[in-house]
């Protein structure tokens, strides 16, 4: 049974993360350990740039006449297949990514994903026909999905606990940076009217982030939690001491993290399995499964896919048909998204997850409703009312503001509500929701927009209402808690005791915070 209970951490469990975080009287970049760690984590942070770059690049390519001519002006299902090439590849990756993460760790699969992406980008750039272009995109999607599954896990398990949510949120916001780059690159290359490099060059430049991630995968530290789970505790301790405790082996934070990680993972080994059936064994895990798979769909089912991949069709429905104007709008929309994405990523811990999710969904609903009304009325007047076109365009920017309120929160939230032994599967489930949502949108959106135009927006207004309602009743708040504290909050202390007693293992009842009180 799912529950709409409002969760809160148990105040009787002893020392909590907030009690052992050292006071900081300087900005984080003035501390060498945090600066070094965050620079290394850029290898994960840029993971979403590929998604953002890809979607906006495809928007730009569809506006470039040379691309349209080279591929014989694809529309409808053909355009949907081009758009969904990466999603199709992503589906294939879902079958291999979980064992990769479990066996090889969180770091090495990033290099594997980058290698596949470089191969796909080479094929896409050198494409001589539509099938070759689509195959390249399928391989890009395969590699990108491996990265998208690994990077949030490594970020959440390796980032400094005081910055975990912000860093993981900024990874999502990096998609907007990719969108900005793609939008203005395609704006510039569109002027190269006499050559196919007007669309090949943007595709080639897509390789830069993959090259960077491939290199960084060999220098980033491994997840301390993966090391502990694989009985490499001393390596985990050294990483946490170096990057979380400023090199202080006697730091209370270091002792807390090691004690909590070791105790929690030991309990999980005794009480749980990594089988996919584990998601349905307890009420807490069933609740987690519902939240994860619904959120995977929600963030892609907000109407954002129309703006991300079919902006040119949306602009046409507003009466904005000039190519240069469309490219400029495409570029400005991406800058707008980057600014708000970074801002809201820094406010995740201050405002809380539920506030950002609910505020974002409510704001998107209002913006999309007004966009629908303005576009519908303007069409009935033959798109002669420039004020309504301007109003509809402004709603796209306002929609992006609220979308960036909700979307950076998803990656830290996925990792927070999942126990360690199910975290790699969480990435797969999240990717399944993301891929499924985008496959639907990629095939259905262009067909629906061609068939009924602006009336299709009404569907997404209704979906946003459903998203808001689901979040309100079923999504718990995780603000201010460590990964292990969120696990205890959702499972419940009594539940863990009951499971241990039923299995006849009373030793697993010890709480890490009790031992820490004696240790510190």
Domain containing residue 452: 29-222+272-479
101 in Cβ contact with 427 (< 8 Å): yes
Who contacts 172 (Cβ-Cβ below 8 Å, separation ≥6)?
A: 48, 341, 345, 407, 408, 410, 411
* Residue 24, in any domain of the structure: no
Report if residue 6 sits inside a domain.
Answer: no
Question: What is the reported pTM?
Answer: 0.73
- What is the average pLDDT across 371-381? 83
What mean pLDDT do residues 353-361 have?
94
Tell me which DSSP letter residue 223 carries: P
Give the span between the Cα atoms of 402 and 390, in whole angstroms.
19
Q: Is residue 262 part of a domain?
A: no
CA separation (Å) from 58 to 77, 120, 324, 350? 15, 15, 16, 35
CB-CB contact of 156 with 416 (8 Å): yes
Helix (H, G, I), strand (E, B) or coil at 318: coil
> What value does the mean pLDDT of the chain take?
82
Task: Report which of residues 317 and 434 the model is more confident about.
Answer: 434
Q: Beta-carbon neighbour count of residue 96 at 10 Å?
A: 15
Pull the structure tokens for residue 104.
């090889």
Judge whether 455 lies within some domain. Answer: yes
Give the number of residues written for the chain: 520
Tens-place pLDDT, residues 37-86:
999 999 999 988 887 888 778 878 887 888 888 888 887 677 778 877 88
In which element (H, E) is residue 240 found?
helix 233-243
pLDDT given for residue 308 in this prediction: 65
Q: Per the domain annotation, does 260 fall within a domain?
A: no
Lowest mean pLDDT among 76-90, 210-224, 349-363: 76-90
Q: What percent of the chain has pLDDT over 90?
A: 26
Rounded Cα gap, residues 498 and 21, in angstroms? 31
Does any domain span residue 294? yes
Does any domain span residue 504?
A: no
**Tokens 């939008």 correspond to what residue?**
183
Q: What is the pLDDT of residues 298-329, one digit of tens each?
A: 888 888 877 766 677 677 777 777 777 877 88
The CATH number linked to 49 is: 1.20.1250.20
Lowest mean pLDDT among 286-300, 389-403, 443-457: 443-457
Q: Is 99 exposed, middle or buried (0-12, 13-18, 19+ CB in 10 A)?
A: exposed
The burial class, CB within 10 Å (0-12 / 13-18 / 19+), for 250 is exposed
CB 211 within 8 A of CB 114: yes
pLDDT at residue 256 in the model:
87
The contacts found for 26-33 with CB under 8 angstroms, 24 or more apart, are: 28/160, 28/163, 31/246, 32/246, 33/242, 33/243, 33/244, 33/245, 33/246, 33/247
pLDDT digits (tens, 9 = 90+) for 147-202: 988 998 899 889 988 888 888 888 877 888 888 888 888 888 888 877 889 889 99
pLDDT tens digits, 230-261 = 999 999 999 999 999 888 888 888 888 898 88
Domain count, the chain: 1
Task: Assess if residue 265 is contained within a domain.
Answer: no
């Amino acid at each position: 049974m799912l529950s709409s209970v409002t969760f809160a951490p148990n105040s009787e469990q002893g020392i909590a993360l907030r009690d052992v975080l050292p006071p900081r009287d300087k900005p984080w970049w003035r501390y060498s350990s945090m600066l070094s760690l965050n620079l290394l984590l850029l290898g994960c942070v840029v993971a979403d740039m590929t998604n953002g770059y890809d979607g906006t690049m495809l928007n730009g390519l569809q506006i470039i006449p040379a691309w349209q001519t080279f591929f014989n002006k694809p529309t409808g299902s053909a355009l949907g297949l081009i758009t969904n090439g990466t999603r199709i590849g992503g589906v294939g990756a879902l079958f291999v990514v979980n064992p990769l993460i479990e066996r090889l760790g969180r770091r090495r699969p990033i290099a594997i994903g980058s290698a596949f992406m470089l191969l796909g980008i080479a094929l896409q750039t050198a494409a001589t026909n539509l099938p070759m272009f689509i195959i390249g995109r399928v391989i890009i999607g395969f590699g990108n999905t491996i990265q998208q599954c690994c990077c949030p896990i490594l970020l959440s398990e390796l980032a400094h606990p005081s910055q975990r949510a912000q860093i993981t949120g900024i990874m999502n916001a990096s998609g907007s940076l990719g969108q900005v780059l793609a939008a203005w690159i395609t704006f510039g290359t569109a002027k190269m009217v006499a050559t196919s490099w007007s669309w090949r060059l943007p595709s080639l430049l897509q390789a830069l982030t993959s090259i960077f991630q491939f290199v960084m995968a060999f220098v980033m530290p491994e997840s301390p939690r993966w090391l502990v789970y694989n009985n490499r505790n001393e390596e985990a301790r050294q990483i946490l001491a170096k990057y979380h405790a400023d090199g202080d082996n006697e730091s209370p934070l270091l002792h807390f993290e090691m004690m909590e990680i070791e105790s929690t993972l030991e309990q999980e080994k005794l009480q749980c399995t990594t089988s996919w059936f584990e998601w349905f064994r307890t009420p807490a895990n069933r609740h987690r499964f519902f939240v994860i798979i619904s959120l995977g769909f929600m963030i892609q089912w907000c109407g954002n896919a129309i703006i991300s991949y079919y902006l040119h069709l949306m602009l046409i429905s507003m009466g904005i048909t000039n190519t240069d104007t469309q490219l400029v709008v495409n570029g400005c929309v991406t800058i707008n998204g980057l600014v708000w994405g970074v801002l809201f990523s820094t406010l995740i811990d201050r405002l809380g997850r539920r506030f950002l999710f609910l505020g974002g969904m409510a704001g998107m609903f209002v913006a999309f409703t007004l966009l629908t009304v303005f576009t519908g009325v303007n069409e009935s007047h033959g798109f002669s009312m420039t004020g309504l076109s301007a109003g509809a365009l402004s709603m796209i920017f306002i929609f992006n503001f609220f979308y960036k309120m909700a979307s950076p929160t998803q990656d830290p939230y996925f990792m927070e509500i999942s126990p360690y032994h199910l975290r790699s599967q969480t990435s797969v489930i999240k990717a399944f929701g993301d891929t499924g949502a985008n496959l639907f949108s990629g095939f259905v959106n262009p067909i629906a927009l061609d068939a009924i135009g602006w009336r299709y927006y009404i569907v997404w207004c209704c979906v946003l209402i459903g998203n808001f309602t689901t979040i309100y009743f079923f999504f718990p708040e995780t603000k201010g808690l460590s990964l292990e504290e969120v696990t205890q909050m959702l499972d419940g202390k009594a539940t863990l005791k009951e499971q241990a007693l039923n299995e006849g293992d009373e030793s697993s009842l010890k709480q890490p915070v009790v031992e820490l009180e004696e240790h510190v």
